[in-house]
């Protein structure tokens, strides 16, 4: 799965050029014409990076950034401002609000692409660091005396933007520790050397869909532990052809925390 980039720009010609350049580089791109549309687009499209103009109608770049940082799932999504307003005052204002970088207009597309690559590498680095921390937690837990461990940790693989608070809360109430990873392409690596009490897989991870993960994994089909699939929207059209590979499917928009706890506890 290629990186997803949201482009928020009110000038149609500039927006079209940016989209063309990014798509030529293999990125998956979606665009919006102002900050209000951009906020909705980001929540629906769930990009790894946002490129945004500052001066736009309805809601400007600063307003969109403020709204974005208030959303827990997107509070750390990197955003790069595209603007002719990149003087010292605007840069300082943006940095205080959480802007990650600036590219000035008229746009130097070679510089823009280099900036995009650098920011996406930073996203990947931070994801890897989080995974390393989770692995340390796993080893720390497994180092405890066996009588202090009711069950092995559960493995959760879900996109960073996904709200899995109810899943985590349910596991805590049941006394089941858990490890959270975000890259579905690494599932065999997660499973190869570590023992888990269950696998909880989202339909979308940072880099792959659940269907792609199942097709490519050499380990998943061999697992004898409970396997749960998380879906976000029960009303949206879903490819259900692979759902029978899981012990249970949990719809996050319909299941309460109590429902989730009851479902998981029946198998762990």
The span from the first CA to the last CA of the chain, in angstroms, equals: 32
pLDDT at residue number 229:
96
pLDDT higher than threshold 60 for residue 23:
yes
Same domain for 148 and 119, yes or no, is no
**Across 78-92, 97-111, 199-213, 244-258, least confident range:** 78-92
Q: Residue written as tokens 């799965």?
A: 1
Same domain for 109 and 185, yes or no, is no
State the Cα–Cα distance between residues 3 and 207, nearest whole angstrom: 8
pLDDT at residue number 24:
96
pLDDT at residue number 36:
97
Same domain for 76 and 154, yes or no, is no
Rounded to two decimals, the pTM is: 0.74
pLDDT higher than threshold 90 for residue 13:
yes
Same domain for 251 and 160, yes or no, is yes
* CA-CA-CA-CA dihedral for 26, 27, 33, 34, to nearest 10: -160
The answer to the question of residue 131 being in a domain is: no
Q: What integer is the mean pLDDT of 191-208?
A: 91
State the Cα–Cα distance between residues 151 and 216, nearest whole angstrom: 28
State the Cα–Cα distance between residues 232 and 77, nearest whole angstrom: 20
Q: How many CA atoms lie within 13 A of 32 on its CB side?
A: 27
Q: What is the pLDDT of residues 167-178, one digit of tens each?
A: 999 999 998 999
pLDDT higher than threshold 60 for residue 237:
no
Per the structure, the complete domain to which residue 229 belongs is given by 144-265
Q: How many domains does the chain have?
A: 2
The backbone region for 205, taken as left when phi is positive above 0, alpha when psi lies in -120 to 50, beta otherwise, is beta
pLDDT higher than threshold 80 for residue 88:
no
Instruction: With residue 44 as reference, give the H or E element that holds it.
Output: helix 35-45
Residue 159 burial (10 A CB sphere; 0-12, 13-18, 19+): buried
Q: What is the CATH number of the domain that holds 172?
A: 3.40.50.2300
Same domain for 118 and 41, yes or no, is yes
pLDDT higher than threshold 60 for residue 44:
yes
The backbone region for 58, taken as left when phi is positive above 0, alpha when psi lies in -120 to 50, beta otherwise, is left
Same domain for 85 and 165, yes or no, is no
Q: What integer is the mean pLDDT of 26-49?
A: 95
pLDDT at residue number 85:
63
Share of the chain above pLDDT 90, in %: 63
């Amino acid at each position: 799965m290629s990186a997803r980039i949201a482009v928020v720009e009110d000038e149609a010609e500039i927006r079209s050029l940016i989209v063309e350049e990014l798509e030529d580089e293999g990125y998956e791109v979606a665009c919006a014409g102002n900050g209000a549309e951009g906020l909705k687009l980001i929540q629906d499209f769930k990009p790894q990076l946002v490129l945004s103009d500052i001066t736009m109608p309805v809601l400007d770049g600063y307003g969109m950034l403020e709204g974005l940082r208030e959303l827990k799932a997107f509070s750390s999504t990197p955003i790069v401002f595209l603007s002719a307003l990149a003087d010292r005052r605007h840069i300082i204002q943006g940095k205080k609000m959480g802007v990650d970088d600036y590219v000035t207009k008229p746009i130097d597309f070679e510089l823009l692409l280099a900036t995009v690559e650098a920011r996406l590498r930073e996203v990947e680095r931070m994801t890897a660091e989080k995974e390393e921390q989770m692995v340390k937690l796993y080893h720390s837990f497994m180092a405890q005396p066996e009588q202090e461990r009711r069950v092995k940790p559960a493995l959760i693989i879900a996109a960073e933007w996904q709200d899995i608070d109810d899943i985590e809360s349910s596991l805590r109430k049941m006394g089941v520790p858990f490890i959270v990873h975000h890259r579905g392409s690494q599932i065999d690596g997660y499973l190869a050397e570590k023992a888990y009490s269950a696998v909880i897989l989202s339909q979308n991870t940072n880099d792959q869909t659940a269907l792609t993960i199942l097709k490519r994994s050499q380990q998943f089909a061999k697992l004898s532990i409970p396997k749960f699939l998380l879906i976000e929207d029960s009303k949206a059209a879903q490819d259900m052809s692979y759902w029978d590979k899981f012990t249970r499917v949990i719809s996050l928009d319909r299941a309460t925390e109590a429902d989730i706890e009851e479902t998981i506890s029946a198998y762990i």
